[in-house]
Amino acid sequence: MLNKAKQILSNREIVLKILVTFALLLVFKVGTFIPTPLIDTAQLKHTIANIDFLTVLNAFSGGGLANFSILALGISPYITSSIVIQMLQMVIPKFREWGEQGEVGKQKLNRVTRYTTVFIAFVQALLIIFSLGADPTNILTNKMLPYVNIHPLLYIYMAIVITAGSAFTMWLADLITRHGIGNGSSLIISAGIISSIPTMFSTLIGKYLGANTSGLNVFFFILIIVLYVAMIIGVVYFEGAVRKVPVQYANRQAGQQGSDIPIKLNSASVIPVIFASTILSIPLTVIGAMQLVPETSQVAYWFNQFFSTHEPIGIALYVLFIIFFSFFYSFMQVDPEKIADNLDKQGAYIPGYRPGEETKKQLSKMLFRITLIGSTYLVFLALVPIIVSTAFGFTASESAVITIGGTSLIIVVGVAIETFRQMETSAETRDYKGFLD
């Protein structure tokens, strides 16, 4: 590992790319502290901490949503748009055709993805602002209270500003991908999550090692740190777990080795958890925009029972959605029919199974079993923050910053592994090129 790190850092081109990446990430982080005009951010922080979906968005935006900055939504609209366009390729023939056209088709899909990102960002910003600002006095600064009668126009203006911030973030991500190291979108999300870690530790220290220090509190503090480290080790193991399906080629001579098809244990990554959180949050956001609360409204009470991840029914739905989207997205990412067709065209086969339909059925069975384990892992990881928060009695604000497990950990670990592999590959390619020259 040290030799690989030394090899990477001795490459001037890679070091320059790393510096460019850090500089662009710093620009993004500075943007998360620039507040959206007309909004009283101090009053919003507590409200955001009590809404699960907004807590997830806040993590993805690097704290930009908690500050209600011009980059409040961060890169999340682009991620949502990319997933939507990817899924639409299954049902829209034109999109499927572009997906098979190579680089030209990819550029067309990217253009549609960007337009969709702007639309999603605007709609998302409007929904959040109108929901949080159901009572305009809770969101507008004191200077804007005399204009409370035209608050819908003010809200639309705020949404436009936040949409522009999302477009700017998308541009930064492109710059990182082209001139830096790694995938820009993933790195921006990871950087936002990592930047919240010091806040988590300061909150833990203040809770357990502050004025109320005792032997029991010290034990709880150490226990939480041990759990956090154990979760990181577990996620690193599971994210790197791969099932290799052996493949043989009919036209290879005896003695020559075949290859294999690597299928990740968690092919769907964090997409199922994000989709599950989004679906559950939409009804609660609408109820919030209508100024209905569970204490006074039966409708709000039952919506809270069904869609809040703090209630048993809501948790059960959350688990079911994660499992459903895990299978849906895994079979979309690893298409057994397409793999079977490609193997048949290449004169390849899985030992013990005939090419074609039998190979497809076997790959489907393997993927089903692998996804069953992967979805269980995702469910456990998604529920750990809820379990830990309940077990240790964290308040809503503490739960928002103390994240043991959850989607954030999968993203950071996954991005770190992929970025290191990319740097390693770039360093090796550079060495081969220098040798050949």
- Ranges of residues in the chain with a pLDDT under 70 are 1-2, 4-5, 7-8, 43, 45-64, 134, 251-258, 285, 288-292, 396-397, 400, 405, 428-437
pLDDT of residue 435: 46
Quote the CA–CA distance of 22 and 172 in Å, as a whole number: 12
pLDDT of residue 119: 94
- What are the structure tokens assigned to 436, written together? 């050949």
- E strand or H helix that includes residue 342: helix 336-345
Quote the CA–CA distance of 343 and 203 in Å, as a whole number: 54
Q: In sequence order, which residues have a C-beta less than 8 Å from that of residue 398 and are 6 or more positions away?
A: 203, 207, 389
- What are the structure tokens assigned to 339, written together? 């793999």
Q: What is the pTM assigned to this prediction?
A: 0.76
pLDDT of residue 436: 47
- E strand or H helix that includes residue 282: helix 271-289
pLDDT of residue 60: 62
Quote the CA–CA distance of 355 and 340 in Å, as a whole number: 7
Phi, psi of 25 (to 5 degrees): -65, -35
pLDDT of residue 257: 57
- Smallest Cα–Cα separation from 261: which of 338, 327, 354, 375? 338
- Smallest Cα–Cα separation from 403: which of 384, 425, 426, 380? 384
pLDDT of residue 267: 83
Quote the CA–CA distance of 129 and 126 in Å, as a whole number: 5
Quote the CA–CA distance of 36 and 67 in Å, as a whole number: 9
